[in-house]
Amino acid sequence: MSSKTYLKPKIKMEEIKNVPEIRFNGFNSEWERKSLSMLANLGSSKRVHREDYVPKGIPFFRGTEISKLGENTINEDLLYISNNLFQKLKNEYGVPQKGDILITAVGTIGNAYLIEKDFDFYFKDGNLIWISNIEINNKYLSTFLKNGIGKKRVLESAIGSNQKALTMDKLGLITIDFPELKEQKAIGTFFQNLDNSIKNHNTQLKKLTNLKKAMLIKMFPQDGVNVPEIRFKGFDGEWEEKSFSNIINLNSGRDYKHLEKGGIPVYGTGGYMLSVNEALSYDENAIGIGRKGTIDKPYILKAPFWTVDTLFYAIPIGNNDLDFINCLFQKTNWKQKDESTGVPSLSKVTINNTCVSIPKENEQKEIGSYFRTLDSLMENHKEQLKKLNQIKKACLSKLFISQD
């Protein structure tokens, strides 16, 4: 994602007491500090009884739903109240409006949700605190409450020892540092753009993950049949059932502690560990599969590499396609083949004796290439998410006053 998408913060060198480390260009005045109760109204809802629930109607949110909405998702198991009851509550007591904030007060506390569009809903009393009539920019306040020093102050205001809870009185006492309105808007917009980018990458990653999951079913024969449901054009004929021992050479990893530092990566069940000066495979790529510990997360190893003794590595025999075989490993339910009563474990015998269906080599290559492309797209989104979250974390500590 291009950095041009975002406003660019500039460091200001003036020694002003109550200011953040980094400011947007053009802002240099000192920030104010006030309690939340001085900047907004804190309230709750009126009691709705269980007998007031109806099969369909106006959504009735609890803390779980508000936490999900804050993550741009929603539960499928919603509760509802009737439109008549909602209208009565709205007319007599008011209901949350666009620009208000709801924050979870029991269970998982401190999850804030900014209402960014008008829609009808009501919420459970005691579960949530309703922040309304906000005098500062609501996007700024939402970002503050959900992250960094603001989230820390919210959580520290909780009462109780075993079961923590937020109260309106205690939450109203937390202090909010804020600049002039124009700078609030700049900060709020910056983080909104950042969050939208994170949301978009998460959405695309989820779609690709679901697509891959579906295609690992549809593009491979299911039990009792010898052809897949979906096939690339130009391929026909039945797939052949073989054991892994007929299509891979399964090798054991070894201890690396006698080796010196170098440029050859060492892998374990969790991925890359360090680099050494020797390889177990210098020129043949393989698939790593856990012998002990994490046994259900196979992944491709690019030569040269070394694997530790808890990670087997499988090298394709002949012209069998590496990416296709990787799909077979990912499709297999290795946890069902766990041979231990403690730490999950697999043996060479178990892996080698596992039967799979395979087509001819040219169809293997087409399928392998398709899933390699999917994996590459997914990895790109993961990398972008990692970068964006790092940017967000750094900016939260520098664009806000991070000291109490």
| pLDDT tens track, the chain, 404 positions | 444 445 555 544 445 578 999 999 999 999 999 999 999 999 999 999 999 999 999 999 999 999 988 877 777 789 999 999 999 999 999 999 999 999 999 989 999 999 999 999 999 998 999 999 999 999 999 999 999 899 999 999 999 988 899 999 999 999 999 999 999 999 999 999 999 999 999 999 999 999 999 999 999 999 889 999 999 999 999 999 999 999 999 999 999 999 999 999 999 999 999 999 999 999 999 999 999 999 999 999 999 999 999 999 999 999 999 999 999 999 999 999 998 888 999 999 999 999 999 999 999 999 999 999 999 999 999 999 999 999 999 999 899 987 76
Residues 289 and 312: their CA atoms lie apart, in Å, by 5
Residues 37 and 367: their CA atoms lie apart, in Å, by 60
Statement to judge: residues 79 and 110 lie in one domain: yes
> For residue 55, is it within any domain?
yes
Decide: 144 and 138 in contact? Cβ < 8 Å. no
Residue 9: predicted pLDDT: 55
Residue 339: predicted pLDDT: 84
Residue 223: predicted pLDDT: 86
Statement to judge: residues 252 and 197 lie in one domain: no
DSSP class per residue in 290-327: ESBS--S--EEEPSSBEE-TTEEEEEE-TT--HHHHHH
DSSP class per residue in 196-245: HHHHHHHHHHHHHHHHHHHHHHHTSPPTT-SS-SS--TT--S--EEEEGG
End-of-domain residue from the set 339, 358, 377:
358
Domain at 386, CATH number: 1.10.287
- Give the three-state DSSP class for 21: coil
> For residue 315, is it within any domain?
yes
Residue 10: predicted pLDDT: 53
Statement to judge: residues 38 and 156 lie in one domain: yes
> For residue 2, is it within any domain?
no
Statement to judge: residues 169 and 297 lie in one domain: no
Residue 91: predicted pLDDT: 96
Domain at 104, CATH number: 3.90.220.20
Statement to judge: residues 189 and 154 lie in one domain: no
- Measuring CA to CA, which residue among 265, 225, 267, 239 is closest to residue 324? 239
Residue 323: predicted pLDDT: 98
Residue 375: predicted pLDDT: 97
Residue 15: predicted pLDDT: 54
Q: Which domain holds residue 191?
A: 180-220+364-403
Question: First CA to last CA across the chain, in angstroms?
Answer: 34
Q: Burial letters for 355-379: b for 16+ Cβ neighbours within 10 Å, e otherwise?
A: ebbbbeeebbbbbbebbbebbebbe
- Give the three-state DSSP class for 118: coil
Place of tokens 């797939």: 239
